[in-house]
Structure 1
Amino acid sequence: MSVRYQLVIDCADPDRQAHFWAAALGYELAPPPTGFATWDDYYRDLGLPEEALTGGADRISDPQGGGPAIWFQVVEDAKSVKNRLHIDIHASGDRADPIETRKKRVDAEADRLVGLGATITCVMYQEGIDHYAVGMKDPEGNEFDIN
């Protein structure tokens, strides 16, 4: 039996991260629970102190229900080492397509995400190997790949 889960990403600015990742993944900002106008209202009801509230969006969800929810949690410590877990965004299409076609799709997606605030860190390609990927960082420096 599978279990439901959400991915939690530590960050300094949950609203910015939520908007970036919603656009990157085709997700939506998750609405607050029924009966609450905002997530901050919900957190206040749970008893969280005002200084813990973000004032904006901090959760995203897959509008089709297939992917995990993602919660962006405020932490005081800045990211200092490489992620032990990262997201791979599959943009290349079918493996039966020529590598040059898949490379163009991956590069186009990388360019789109750069426009949203990501940075490219490396290109992973070796002549003769049927794989192409672009290593990137989100606006807060979390690593992810597009392949």
Structure 2
Amino acid sequence: MVLVALGFQVTFDALDPGRQAGFWALALGYELEPPPPGFTTWEEFGERIGMPPERWGDLAAVVAPDRDRPRLLFQRVPEDKAAKNRVHLDVHVDGPRDEGRWERVTAHVRLLVEAGATLVAERHENIGDWVVLLDPEGNEFCVQ
């Protein structure tokens, strides 16, 4: 019998899950995940399940507005990022692959740099054009 995954989420270790969630919501056009039904805030939910207040910010998540793309979860860890990512996200800008595409890419890159990303490099190769960045906690990703 072969089991098939029905879906997945991408999980990031983070020093500040809330900040990372806000950054990636902006980068991907996602939104912060709302608390479960019946709760107006995540703090109210944490209190209800008996989570100590000092742990309420240990997790944050973002979701696509139409829920058709993977959820991103950010979980607090005590240590800084120590090595290059073995996996990274490629962020694709909206719109056709026309002569205006690169302007849309660079506009999104400027927005992300203003939000805390670090520009690493522009790549122009025969397989395509993209920009390499680091998110606010040093995780590599590309915009194309």
TM-score range, shorter chain: 0.7 to 0.9
Structure 1: runs of 5 or more not aligned: none
How many residue pairs get matched?
141
Distance 1:40 1:121 in 2: 37
Does the aligned pair in 2 maintain the 1:92–1:103 contact within 8 Å?
no
- Match for residue 143 of structure 1? 140
TM-score for the superposition, normalised by structure 1: 0.84
Question: In the alignment, residue 88 of structure 1 is paired with which amino acid?
Answer: D
The reply to whether residue 18 of structure 1 matches residue 40 of structure 2 is no
Other-structure match for 1:113: 112
Aligned partner of 1:37 in structure 2 is 40
Structure 2 segments unaligned to the other structure (5+ residues): none
Q: Which string of whole-angstrom CA distances, capped at 9 and with x for unpartnered residues, describes residues 99-141 of structure 1?
A: xx33222212111111111111111114xx1511100011111
Identity %: 41
**Alpha-carbon distance in structure 1 between the residues aligned to 2:44 and 2:85:** 32
**Distance in 2 (alpha carbons) for counterparts of 1:40 and 1:76:** 21
CA deviation map 1:68-101 (0-9, x unaligned) = 1111100001101011111101127434x24xx3
Offset of residue 52 of structure 1: 2.5
Q: Report the AA paired with residue 140 of structure 1.
A: E
Deviations along 1:13-68, one digit per CA (max 9) or x if unpaired, are 1111111111111111111111233223434444544433218x711110012111
C-alpha distance in 1, partners of 2:104/2:31?
23
Distance 2:10 2:55 in 1: 20
Aligned to 1:66: 68
SS of 1:58's partner is strand
Consecutive aligned runs of 4 or more in structure 1 exceeding 2 Å deviation: 35-53, 92-95, 101-105
Residue 46 of structure 2 contacts residue 53 of structure 2 at CA under 8 Å; is this kept in 1?
Answer: no
Which residue of the partner structure matches residue 83 of structure 1?
A: 85
